[in-house]
Amino acid sequence: MAREPRIMERTHRLIADAMLGKLAKWLRVLGFDVAYDRSIENQVLVRSAKIEGRDILTRDRRLVQRRWGGSIRFIVIEDDHLPNQLQQVVRELGRPPRKQVLSRCLRCNEPLTSFRRKEAAAQVSPYVHRTQKRFFQCPSCRRIYWRGTHQKRILNCVKTLLAQDRSGQRETKRETRRSP
């Protein structure tokens, strides 16, 4: 029986390399602060990590082996499969508190802010406006969110991803390195 992952003791700021877009999105669902740009080059990735104080999620071992100077924490994602990737990050960092789940924009990574129901009326379907009491908005891209049935599906998907049995798949190694 799998035990519940520990709750994060502190907030982790992460940046994912170009190979980890799906992982970045699902970590945002869990409430992780994960910067991601699919076109980012390694030098920009590392510079951003240094400036913003982020740990780097990567599948690129050569990136980790280069001498970047300064203290950069790399979390080498060992597996190609999203469930195992999520499990690895949660094992290493803990999981965010439940109140952080679905608290970030899945596109922009910005924390969502409350959005007045009256203002949402012009931006959502009449059915959604009629059936939902609370709305949230990304201050960056202006996307509107609400806690509808899709939220339950997303949360069930997260539970499934984190609970999937890894039997039959190669064991993932823990490897967290600091830049040489």
Tokens of 87: 């499990």
User: Is the four-CA dihedral 121, 103, 173, 41 of positive or negative sign?
Assistant: positive
CB-CB neighbours of 149 under 10 Å: 8
Q: What is the DSSP-derived secondary structure letter of residue 19?
A: T
pTM reported for the whole predicted model: 0.81
Q: pLDDT tens, 46-85?
A: 999 999 999 999 999 999 988 887 788 999 999 999 999 9
- Residues with Cβ within 8 Å of residue 162, at least 6 apart in sequence: 5, 83, 86, 87, 90, 95
Q: pLDDT tens, 137-158?
A: 999 999 999 988 888 888 888 8
Q: At which residue do the structure tokens 């920009």 appear?
A: 44
Q: pLDDT tens, 119-140?
A: 999 999 999 999 999 999 999 9
Tokens of 175: 């490897």
The domain locations on the chain are: 13-102+166-178
Question: How do beta strands 13-16 and 33-36 pair?
Answer: parallel
